[in-house]
Each structure stands twice: as structure tokens, then as C-alpha cells.
Amino acid sequence: MSAMSAQFPEFRDCTVLVSGGGSGIGAALVEGFARQGAKVSFLDIAEAESRELAERLSRETAHPVSFYHTDLRDIDAIRRAVNEVVEKSGPIRVLVNNAAWDDRHEFDDVTEDYWDNNQAVNLRHVFFTSQAVAPSMRAAGGGAIINMSSIAFKLNMGVFPAYAAAKAAIVGLTKSMAGRLGPENIRVNCILPGMVVTERQMKLWLTEESIARSVQEQCLKTPLKPDAIVGPALFLASDCAAGMTAQSLIVDGGVL
């Protein structure tokens, strides 16, 4: 049974918000929740890809999929979008903080502005989107937040210190938010993917050779595709994981 065919009845008609849902893993998550019968909205800046995804899925799923053009570096814009989602679709029960920017940067060249912008795309919105969504989860009696970290910060990868710092911080943020929001029945967990081959990763960073090298490090000898993250995310958001919070789930084909 694939993640796309497993069914969790609790997602039917429930409101789900995914950040960075326009492409890659985020798009697979949007599709995965939409095929569960959820009312899915997503925030992204990739206009063309996001519109195409929302239109395609809206023709095929129980509820229209809604795209909100939102630059996650703009906290007021996040708050406006979250309010619109709640007004249109009802209280948000599931939030996936997925958006990120794994830009490579040379240690000696990083400026203060670069650092701040990098943290704004990779870390700051994870807190502020959760903060904006929490009131509607409380009002609905609870919810689930899933933050996307990465195994990259555990691998001594020198190519993106700012990204690695943000991804490590997301694990700490997950635990702190879980402690704060647990009494309100809001569960907060994170997923640490390994290498996931997306179109964008292929365009920017990956080659057939680098994929083969990474696969050698995995126990499982097949490169992971975005779908590999959908099942674990559905599980963490579902009632099956009702007793789980403050946890990190590694989905890397067995690297760590």
C-alpha cells in the first residue's frame, strides 16, 4: 500500500496548511493530504508551479486546493494568509512547516545580511506560522504541527552552515513548542529527510554521480522521491500518532 492509497478518515474535510507546497516535497504533501479528502491550502512564492498544482489537484480531489502567494520572510503576510485560510476553510488542524532554501554558501563569504535572510527563509517562519495557526488549533480542540528539518546538520556538510544551523534549530524549536502546546492538545513533531530527489534538486545541486554516491551511504539502495515523505507526515499528523509529540522522525533510507 502506498502513502497515496492509505486512508486516514480523520483527515476528511479537515483543514491542512502546508508552507512551501508549490514544488518538491511540499507539493507531494499537498497532494497526499488532498487525496485524503482534506481541505488543503499552501503558501509559496513560486507562482506558476503553485497555480498549476492547485488547478490540477482541484480537478481531482474532494475539495479545491488553495494557493496563497506568500513570501514567508514577511511575517505580516503569513498572518494575513493564515487568517484567510481559517476564514475560508475553517480551523487549521494540521500545519506542515515545509518551506526552506538549501542555498550553498561559502563560509568566508557569508555576510550578516545573507545570514539573516537565510534564517528568515529557513527558520523564522517556522515559529511565526505556528504562532499564527495555534489559536485556531486551540479553538478546534487541538492539532498537529510537523516541521521539516534535515539530516544534513548531522553530517558535517560544509557547504551550507546557515542552512544546517536552521535545520538543527528546528529540532530544538519542535521540542520547545511541543512542551508549550502539548497541554492544549497540539502535537509538534519534526521529520528529518535524507537526500530526496526533486526536480529542483536535480536542476541545482544533484547529478547522477552525486545521487549514486549518496545512495551508497543508504541501507536502501534506491534514491528517495518526495512521496517517501508523505506517509511519515500523514502518520505523524494522524490519530495513529496521538501519543507522539516532541519527536524527530528520520526518513533517509538508512544513512544515520
* Interface residue list for ligand NAD (CB under 6 A): 20, 22-26, 43-46, 70-73, 98-102, 121, 148, 150, 152, 193, 195-196, 198, 200-201
Of all residues in this chain, which one has the CB nearest to ligand NAD in the complex?
24
Q: Which is nearer to ligand NAD, 25 or 181 (CB)?
A: 25
- The residues, any chain, with a CB within 8 Å of residue 240's CB and separated by 6 or more, are 8
Q: ∠ CA(148), CA(248), CA(255), 5° rounding?
A: 85
DSSP string, 143-207: EEEEEE--GGGGTT-TT-HHHHHHHHHHHHHHHHHHHHHGGGTEEEEEEEE--B--HHHHHHT--
The torsion defined by the Cα of 214, 217, 219 and 220, in degrees rounded to 10, comes to: 10
Residue with grid cell 494575513, as numbered in its chain? 80
CB of 228 to ligand NAD, least distance (A): 10
Tell me which DSSP letter residue 20 carries: T
From the candidates 163, 173, 178, 237, give the one annotated as an active-site residue. 163
CB of 72 to ligand NAD, least distance (A): 4
CB of 12 to ligand NAD, least distance (A): 26
Q: Which is nearer to ligand NAD, 99 or 132 (CB)?
A: 99
CB of 128 to ligand NAD, least distance (A): 12
Tell me if residue 163 is catalytic.
Answer: yes
Q: Which is nearer to ligand NAD, 28 or 38 (CB)?
A: 28
CB of 141 to ligand NAD, least distance (A): 28
- Side chain identity at residue 135, one-letter code: P
Q: Which is nearer to ligand NAD, 181 or 190 (CB)?
A: 190
Structure-block grid coordinates of residue 226: 518526495
Can you tell me the distance from the alpha carbon of 91 to that of 146, in angstroms, rounded to the nearest whole number? 16
Structure-block grid coordinates of residue 247: 519527536
Q: Which is nearer to ligand NAD, 31 or 44 (CB)?
A: 44
Q: In what order do the strands lie in the sheet with 15-19?
A: 66-69, 39-44, 15-19, 92-97, 143-148, 186-193, 248-251
Cβ(150)–Cβ(168) below 8 Å: no
Residues labelled as active-site residues: 163
